[in-house]
Structure 1
């Protein structure tokens, strides 16, 4: 009888052990502790964050938004540094950073936690990696390298008489400076005149735009959170002067710019999550190349076109998908 009891007890213990082991391989063990850091909240960055979360959910690494430690610096550089220091000292499986400033701040912490950046337009120039194909600073991610040549091609379609472009940007934003350098190179190659409007302080934006409007037929703005924050002011002045403004994101167009060739913001977030999944599945960060995400569609603002006298129906946009929007209340 004792032998029978011992056998039964052994079977029960083995079954319990099996269930326990089986449970450790369940979806709950796949859950990761992740943080997402933004310098500032705006439509584009929020959509990118939503895309990251969507991608992580689809892969089973989180079950809800509550599984993500989201932190925003509200545009304050000191806050951003405090946040990245805190995260660097945490026990996260991965950190996602949206756009250049947040990525630079996090990478500069030199943490052992891998960084997956989303929408850094010039990762090498920004100093967050040294090689796109072989990331070497415990960071990799997606680049929304601005399709400068294509945007100026769109400008030629929409405003063919524009002979002098204003280049409006924050001189403190590395990615914006890099994109403007690309724009200058392109414009010089086509013998197109340009006037730079570099802004140091936010208080200079309005006067800089007014100055550019007196000299230029159109204005180009790179991906720049500083300029996005002042978009209503910029477009109001430009409309009064009948000057077209070309942005570098769909959010800029929603906020009043005339048009751009845009990357889907939720889509680039999902692609960033896909890169992180390769790490979670066993690859080293340096084995996961950073990728440049191409533009998805043309977006144009109907309100702006009407204000400066452009008939969108008369423009041939070719085979590109075109989204026509009105001013959004951001």
Structure 2
């Protein structure tokens, strides 16, 4: 019993530490960029909304940078990082695959295909216009993968999910290539979205995806206890009273909503859903009741740091968050694999 209390206390302390780091990452994201701002100017801009009265010490330019540019960008990085971290943990759990991420279930490919198709058919150029098509594509692809994997045996097993996801992803990627090769305008718009970046999006994008992310996060937390039992094997889980089909459907619905909305908003962010669950698992072990919230916080921290680093190292320009995360994440993940044995799924 004391050991259980110690483990719980350690995990709670870890969550508190991650929350503090998240606040620091948010402040750094708002303060740092092509023009760095002192924290005093950031606080003045946040606490003196409106027309900057004489009693407000905030500099007009600094306040404009914070309110009109960095707040929406930081908020979008925060919620999409949370979503991709949670989705990565759930995907690896349901597929029993330590190399799984949102791309494995065709979600990225579905979002990319309908985004490119809508740009081609309707000449859309703004993210707020084609984001709905990208979200619909991610949802449809996730439903197709789950449906195809359930054909025959009547259940979506980890192996059938992986195989169906690979097939659907390959098909949708081919269709996307056809669309962008036929339309130069679609290619020009699509190539910026597919890199993965939180820059250039206003508050409207944040507001559009937030409801989907909230519902997805709620489903993810609800599915976590059942996922622990699924890890014991289908027969054992069924004997303990778990409804396998309902639990998998609940978890995969959470994955589709979280990863689909995040990908639709900022494009596919490579490595985030892959690396973050492994980092979280090294602290929490394979208990998804703790792994999912840990992955959420770590995902948000990682994406915020990647976006901030991309702005700082390429001044006065910037490096997209998707590129920064890949450049930093790939060698880090290799080092993680070599230095320590990853906790089993």
Q: Structure 1 length as normaliser, TM-score?
A: 0.32
The one of the two structures with greater contact order (alpha-carbon pairs below 8 A, sep at least 6) is 2
Q: Structure 2 length as normaliser, TM-score?
A: 0.31
Q: Which has the higher helix share?
A: 2
